[in-house]
């Protein structure tokens, strides 16, 4: 009797301690030293910008609900900012990172201690530079494991394997950026694609360093994938192995079996790989998808090898997996539109049903005169003009100071609040024969102001102005439900009837199909200043971006938190 009582007390105490531990989100701390580091790829060496000398950079590991502090120390010779891609940063845009949107750059010789506030995100996220084109080499994984005391909504994988897809130029990336912006045409295409920083054996000089991943037959592995490439969507596959997608952009999905994956720059995908084939070596491979045959793109294939453990004779040669052809827009859109939220009791969905803000944003490639002060100047874009890009026909003019700071301090003259809800000019957006007169956009630093808890429905409409292409659109500070998509012009009467409000995927980056449309819904429940942009870096450079300002709510805990004392200054 007495013993039982004591046992009860003991068990009760244990329970209290356990639940206390569970409710304590850990505080994790990292140091990121941004520096120039010499790397050799494709038989040529150059200095690249790295974090802690690593390419790809260090992985940040945390659990759902944790707060991570990263001390970013800039020991390089150029400005930098770092963004924690997919982290909502509730009420705290100060650490979000995009240059001149939420902060001034971290100048050489200075540092900035950034706070990563995780909330309901779980799965693979990543971090990357958000200034100039530095993210080409300054990026890494941000792994958010299930909240302490909870588990994956699938059997625990035997091991987790990073699969970071990237892009490598033999030239200095800063020079690639400066050149194409000066000349007005497309950027020089990259020389290789990479898996975990290595091009693989389809390229000269790269064979011995190819990424090799060892697996045990009968085990299941979780591939934590990100497309960290700069300018294109990618197809990915593994020879003779089916893939099971279980998550994207830090949210779980219903298991989706597929022979290939389509992954946008900015997007993350969690994939289960069953090592269920005969013991052997198998290629994994990735290459670019492009919907625009006229675009200049790197048409090479990057590979890595899956090696089964065991005693068997190595094959003399390996076969590449079958990937969709480089311009198969059906294969691209089919995969993307097959993703579904888990929508279970443990992982319910919360799709806004009563919409308070209906927005339609056109996404266009544009041209501008080559040089306003020299009518004879010629550029490398169409009709010897220079490329630009726009949302609702506005090319974003990036200010020289932080929009967030201007908003917080009520400063005038940094931005306007006239971003239109709909295009000014309604036309056949996807027509094959658009008049060249519609090519020239306006410019401005316009933001869209949202009320706290607005239920937003936003239709992205790709246009054929200059030429249609996919646009992987990324929103900071929020996840959104992707409720519908299609080719052609969005039809306000017909298309909403087919919206998926039952189990739409929860994402942060969504590829709007070429000459097509995508509808997203989100609740503006995160007060702050949040960037929205295409995740093709050349389109960002050309101006395909805008800013949402979500106003404070009425209560103390629905207001933006104050800035940290060490914000970089312009
Ligand atoms: C590899 O080098 C050879 C000889 O220089 C060249 O012909 C070939 O195009 C190169 N291949 C790649 C993928 O760069
Ligand atoms: C890209 O390469 C594939 C072969 O891998 C070829 O069939 C295709 O025509 C190439 N596309 C372009 C645009 O060069
Ligand atoms: C591996 O296989 C070879 C040939 O079948 C055999 O001679 C060798 O002993 C095996 N090694 C081990 C460690 O099992
Ligand atoms: C893509 O799908 C459309 C409609 O489903 C079909 O008409 C077209 O032929 C397909 N294209 C390819 C390349 O499969
Ligand atoms: C994708 O393609 C498959 C095979 O062609 C088809 O059965 C399926 O309905 C398509 N899914 C979507 C979402 O288009
Ligand atoms: C534009 O032309 C003017 C006059 O010729 C020249 O001074 C200026 O450098 C040019 N600007 C660019 C960006 O090339
Ligand atoms: C819009 O343009 C497309 C492609 O040229 C064409 O098929 C369609 O009929 C046009 N729609 C209207 C309403 O004119
Ligand atoms: C964009 O705005 C410019 C300037 O007002 C106008 O000339 C052009 O036709 C507009 N283009 C579109 C697609 O609305
Ligand atoms: C914005 O447009 C105005 C008027 O056309 C022009 O004078 C200015 O140079 C443009 N600014 C940028 C950054 O393109
Ligand atoms: C670095 O950022 C500051 C603004 O904070 C700016 O004045 C300076 O020109 C930038 N340096 C470079 C090389 O862009
Ligand atoms: Cu784009």
For the chain, domains (ranges, CATH) are: 22-145 (2.60.40.420), 159-337 (2.60.40.420), 357-558 (2.60.40.420)
CA distance 164 to 210: 13
Nearest CA to ligand 1 atom 5: 204
pLDDT of residue 205: 87
pLDDT of residue 24: 54
pLDDT of residue 22: 47
Atom of ligand 7 nearest to the CA of 432: 5
In the reported structure, the alpha carbon of residue 564 is separated from the centroid of ligand 2 by a whole-number distance in angstroms of 50
Nearest CA to ligand 10 atom 7: 570
- Sheet order of strands, 243-248 included: 192-195, 159-168, 220-227, 268-274, 243-248, 251-258
Least Cα distance to 523 among 463, 486, 469, 477 occurs for 477
Indicate the top mutation candidate among 373, 375, 379 to test ligand 6's pocket, ranked by most ligand atoms within 8 A of CB: 373
Least Cα distance to 102 among 404, 382, 368, 380 occurs for 404
What string of pLDDT tens digits covers the 570 residues of the chain?
Answer: 344 445 454 444 444 444 444 445 677 899 999 999 999 999 999 999 999 999 999 999 999 999 999 999 999 999 999 999 999 999 999 999 999 999 999 999 999 999 999 999 999 999 999 999 999 999 999 999 999 999 999 999 999 999 999 999 999 999 999 999 999 999 999 999 999 999 999 999 877 889 999 999 999 999 999 999 999 999 999 999 999 999 999 999 999 999 999 999 999 999 999 999 999 999 999 999 999 877 789 999 999 999 999 999 988 889 999 999 999 999 999 999 999 999 999 999 999 999 999 999 999 999 999 999 999 999 999 999 999 999 999 999 999 999 999 999 999 999 999 999 999 999 999 999 999 899 999 999 999 999 999 999 999 999 999 999 999 999 999 999 999 999 999 999 999 999 999 999 999 999 999 999 999 999 999 999 999 999 999 999 999 999 999 999 999 999 999 999 999 999
- Sheet order of strands, 509-512 included: 447-450, 545-550, 528-534, 471-475, 509-512
Nearest CA to ligand 6 atom 5: 374
Q: What is the DSSP string of 67-85?
A: EEEEEEEE-SSS-B-EEEE
Query: CB under 6 Å to ligand 6: residues?
Result: 371, 373-374, 377
Whether the CB of 325 sits within 6 Å of ligand 4: no
pLDDT of residue 14: 44
Nearest CA to ligand 7 atom 8: 431
CA distance 225 to 222: 9
The residues near 60 (Cβ < 8 Å, ≥ 6 apart) are 28, 30, 68, 70, 116, 127, 140, 141, 142, 143
pLDDT of residue 293: 74
CA 42 to chain centre: 27
Residues 361, 391 contacting (CB under 8 angstroms): yes
CA distance 273 to 285: 14
CA distance 64 to 122: 6
Atom of ligand 10 nearest to the CA of 132: 14
Q: What is the DSSP string of 368-422?
A: E-S-TT-TT---SSGGG-EEEEEETTEEE---SS-HHHHHHHT-SSS-BS---SS
> Which residues on neighbouring strands pair with residue 117, listed in sequence order?
67
Query: CB under 6 Å to ligand 5: residues?
Result: 334, 337-338
Whether the CB of 443 sits within 6 Å of ligand 9: yes
For residue 74, is the peptide bond before it cis, meaning its omega torsion is within 30 degrees of 0? no
Structure tokens at 175: 């020079």
The ligand that comes nearest to the alpha carbon of residue 340 is 5
């Amino acid at each position: 009797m007495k013993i039982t009582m004591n046992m009860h007390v003991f068990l009760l105490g244990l329970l209290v301690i356990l639940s206390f531990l569970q409710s304590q989100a850990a505080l994790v701390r990292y140091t990121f030293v941004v520096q120039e580091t010499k790397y050799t790829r494709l038989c040529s060496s150059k200095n690249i910008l790295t974090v802690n000398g690593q390419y790809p950079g260090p992985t940040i590991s945390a659990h759902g609900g944790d707060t991570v502090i990263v001390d970013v120390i800039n020991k390089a010779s150029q400005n930098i900012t770092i963004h924690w891609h997919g982290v909502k940063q509730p009420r705290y845009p100060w650490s979000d990172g995009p240059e001149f949107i939420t902060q001034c750059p971290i100048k050489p010789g200075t540092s900035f201690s950034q706070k990563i506030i995780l909330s309901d995100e779980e799965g693979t996220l990543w971090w990357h530079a958000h200034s100039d084109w530095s993210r080409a080499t300054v990026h890494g994984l941000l792994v958010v494991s299930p909240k302490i005391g909870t588990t994956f909504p699938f059997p625990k994988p035997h091991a987790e394997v990073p699969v970071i897809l990237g892009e490598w130029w033999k030239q200095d990336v800063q020079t690639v950026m400066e050149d194409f912006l000066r000349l007005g045409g497309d950027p020089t295409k990259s020389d290789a694609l990479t898996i975990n920083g290595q091009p693989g054996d389809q390229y000269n000089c790269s064979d011995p360093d190819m990424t090799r991943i060892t697996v045990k037959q009968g085990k299941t592995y979780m591939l934590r994938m990100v497309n960290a490439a700069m300018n294109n969507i990618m197809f990915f596959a593994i020879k003779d192995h089916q893939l099971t997608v279980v998550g994207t952009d830090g949210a779980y999905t219903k298991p989706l079996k597929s022979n290939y994956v389509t992954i946008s720059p900015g997007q993350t995908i969690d994939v289960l790989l069953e090592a269920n084939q005969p013991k052997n070596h198998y290629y994994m491979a990735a290459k670019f998808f492009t919907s625009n045959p006229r675009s200049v793109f790197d048409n090479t294939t990057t590979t890595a090898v899956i090696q089964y453990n065991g005693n068997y004779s190595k094959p003399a040669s390996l076969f590449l997996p079958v990937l969709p052809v480089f311009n198969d827009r059906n294969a691209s859109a089919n995969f993307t539109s097959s993703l579904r939220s888990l929508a279970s009791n443990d992982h319910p969905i919360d799709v806004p049903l009563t919409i308070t803000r209906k927005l339609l944003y056109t996404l266009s490639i544009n041209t501008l005169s080559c040089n306003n002060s020299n009518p004879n100047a010629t550029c490398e874009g169409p009709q010897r003009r220079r490329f630009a890009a726009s949302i609702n026909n506005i090319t974003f003019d990036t200010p020289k100071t932080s929009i967030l700071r201007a908003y917080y301090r009520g400063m005038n003259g940094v931005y306007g609040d006239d971003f239109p809800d709909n295009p000014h000019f309604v036309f056949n957006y996807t027509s094959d024969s658009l008049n060249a007169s519609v090519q020239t956009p306006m410019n401005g630093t316009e933001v869209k102001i949202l009320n706290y808890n607005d239920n937003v429905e936003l239709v992205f409409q790709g246009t054929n102005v200059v030429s249609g292409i996919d646009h992987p659109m990324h929103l900071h500070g929020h996840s959104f439900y992707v409720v519908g998509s299609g080719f052609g012009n969005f039809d306000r009467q017909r298309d909403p009837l087919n919206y998926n409000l039952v189990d739409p995927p929860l994402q942060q980056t969504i590829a709007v199909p070429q000459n097509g449309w995508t509808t997203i819904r989100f609740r503006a429940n995160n007060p702050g200043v949040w960037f929205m942009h295409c995740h093709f870096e050349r389109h960002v450079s050309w101006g395909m971006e805008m800013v949402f300002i979500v106003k404070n709510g009425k209560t103390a805990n629905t207001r933006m938190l104050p800035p940290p004392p060490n914000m970089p200054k312009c």
